[in-house]
Amino acid sequence: MSRRNFGAAPRQLDGRFSDHRAFAQIELTVVLVVVSLLVGLALIAAPHIRESSRQTDCTNRMRQVVLGAHKFHESMKRLPPAAIHMDLVMESDTFYEDLRDTQWTSALALCLPYLDMEVITKPIPEIAFDMYTVLSKDSGRNPTYSWPGEIDNVGVVLATRIPLFECPSDNINDICYPQSGGACDNSLAAYVPRWNGEEINDSDWAGYLVNLPGDRRVYRTNFVSCIGAHGHQLDPERNRWKGCMTTRGRVTLETIVDGTSRTIMFGENIGGIFAGRRGLDLDDDDVTRTSSGWAWSWFWGGTAQARGNIPYGDARLTTEIVGYTDNDLEPVLPHAIPMLGNSKFSSTKGFGSMHPKGVNIAFADGSVLKLKRSIHWYTLYQLASARDSYVPIGY
């Protein structure tokens, strides 16, 4: 009878060899070390990955805003004004009141219909979006409202939060802008001298807080229009630095002399920050300011000028700074204050962001680039203006 081979005979084990050995202690230690290293590297990389994602999200949001401005241009045959207020310089005591009696509606608000968000502004009268009429009882053209705070249902719009207008890396709508006494300020911040109903002070365009009727919530924005290097000026030397988003202007893409790819349309803004404290600011005259600072409402204002960034590169701050003495001021400033604002220092009227590597800037051609904080102030001037005839390269 033949033998059938049902497989090889099992191996004999003598105690020295085995097919299923247990991990030796040294092997287990190596595995644990490798796993620990991988977990540690993942934890280290996680914040950078999250910030990279936020930066991308911020870029996409700003690009949508620019697209809305381009759609506005297609429809209205002009770019939206940075804000609907008077394009003047201070010439008389009534100038302050003239600015107060204008709409102050921002370019972001004007672009809402072109961003599929027209429903937000439905409760507001059309006068708020009239780019050709001054909101003033004294003008004789509008007998109803004397300033934007009186416009019907304006509080409803101010209290509407629009994530599209916020940078994911910032918490601009989750912070307190302190008033005297420690209370949080939810009032409108606008770009004119401070006015409290009885007196006017600070003629250096430091900022303007209007206490709105009732306890109204004001939602703010990280994206602001670029009005140029010096803002709204009639002086010929400064007028040449005007941006493409002028107030009540009628700029078209075709009339941007410097080219749309070299002219800033929108930029990031994080409000006033001084020595890491939000709600404080630096003044226009390149000296310290520790009692004023705010961020823009998305519906009102929303403008920035390159001049607002100059103190960061010029380092001409000569008065006492909280936390520093005169002896250590000079070596500290050039290293502590960047040209573009960050989480430590930022100007209300300038560009800045919470991104560690730079500030998102949208150009008139629709591109969104990140400017380094080491950019020279004169290069920023050239990029902010639409017709200075200088086209910077390699910024």
What is the per-residue pLDDT across 42-91, written as a single tens digit (0 to 9) for each? Answer: 777 666 678 889 999 999 999 999 999 999 999 999 999 998 877 554 44
Band of the pLDDT at 225, cuts 50, 70, 90? very high
* Average pLDDT over the chain, rounded to an integer: 75
73-90 burial code (b ≥16 CB/10 A, e <16)? beeeeebbbbbbbbbeee
Q: Highest-confidence range of 62-66, 98-102, 207-211, 386-390, by mean pLDDT?
A: 62-66
More confident residue, 49 or 232: 49
**pLDDT exceeds 80 at position 190:** no
Band of the pLDDT at 312, cuts 50, 70, 90? very low
Place of tokens 């219909």: 113
Q: What is the pTM of this model?
A: 0.77
- List, in order, residues 6 or more apart from 55 with CB less than 8 Å away: 169, 355, 357, 360, 370
Q: CA–CA distance from 160 to each of 212, 219, 289, 297 (Å)?
A: 15, 7, 31, 11
* Boundaries of every domain in the chain: 41-384
Residue 206's pLDDT is 35
Q: Cβ(83)–Cβ(104) under 8 Å?
A: yes
Band of the pLDDT at 182, cuts 50, 70, 90? low
Minimum mean pLDDT among 212-221, 280-289, 302-311: which range? Answer: 280-289
Q: Cβ(309)–Cβ(380) under 8 Å?
A: yes
Helix (H) or strand (E) holding 41: helix 25-76
Q: What is the dihedral of CA 165, 170, 172, 177, to 10 degrees?
A: -160
